[in-house]
Amino acid sequence: MNQAFKYTKAQRNVIVGGAVILICITALSCVSSFMIYREGFADLPYIFQQALALFAVVVVEGAFIWLLYGFTRAFSSVMERAISFLGMAFLVAVMLTNLVTHFMMVKHVALSPFQQSWIDWGAVTVFIVVLLTTLFVTLADPVIRLMRLQLRLLGKQREKEIERQAEALEEGNFPKEIEAEARETGPLAAGKDRPRW
């Protein structure tokens, strides 16, 4: 069975080559994203400006790598794969916008109104989209979904059990568990008022 899933040497070379290309493109995008996001923290001291810009790059590029890895290796449900694909498409568009905008800024080419708006406030919305994508992928996880269903089932079972015990108490029919507990604590309760010595 395992032999059927082993890659040939040529397939491994293709996978390694694709990974190298993705790493190089992501590295280029990191530089452009850093320069774009750094301007948004210009009101802070230099150290915090650089650190927050680096953090922003990690969020954007790290989310892309996480979604790509999950799509190819981990995500199994249709919902997970659909969300991750849409997230990757969005992040590719973000990286492309950052690359083009940064190159135009360096060459002193006039930016379009969209690019100016992107620098002013658009790039910041990426963090919210990444947050929502991460949240939706987590909620769509089949294991998490099964755990939620199991907890819901256990809650309903416990609720029915409590309702049954309450009805038995109202009718004067004590459940066996309560009677057994009363028998066990009865001697203790009876001897509670006796002197200890």
* 111-164 confidence digits (pLDDT tens): 889 988 888 888 888 889 999 999 998 888 888 878 888 888 888 888 888 888
- Does residue 16 sit in the same domain as residue 80? yes
- Given a cut of 90, whether residue 85 has pLDDT beyond it is yes
In angstroms, the Cα distances linking 86 to 43, 50, 192 are: 33, 30, 69
Residue 86: pLDDT above 90? yes
Mean predicted confidence (pLDDT) in 184-196: 53
Same domain for 126 and 61: yes
Question: How many separate domains does the chain show?
Answer: 2
- Give residue 185's pLDDT band: very low, low, confident or very high (50, 70, 90): low
Please name the residues in contact with 194: beta carbons below 8 A apart, sequence gap of 6 or more.
none
In a domain, 196, yes or no: no
Q: Are residues 23 and 82 in the same domain?
A: yes
Decide if 29 is inside a domain: yes
Pairwise CA distance, residues 64 & 70, whole Å? 10
Are residues 168 and 112 part of one domain? no
Range of the domain at 157: 151-184
**Alpha carbon 103 to chain centroid, angstroms:** 32
Shared domain check, 112 and 83: yes
Same domain, 101 and 122: yes
Q: What is the DSSP letter of 194?
A: S
Q: Considering the domain boundaries, does residue 130 fall inside one?
A: yes
Domain-embedded: residue 106: yes
Same-domain pairing of 112 and 174:
no
In a domain, 145, yes or no: no
SS3 146: helix
One domain, residues 158 and 130: no
Burial class (CB in 10 A: 0-12, 13-18, 19+), 126: buried
123 and 169 share one domain: no
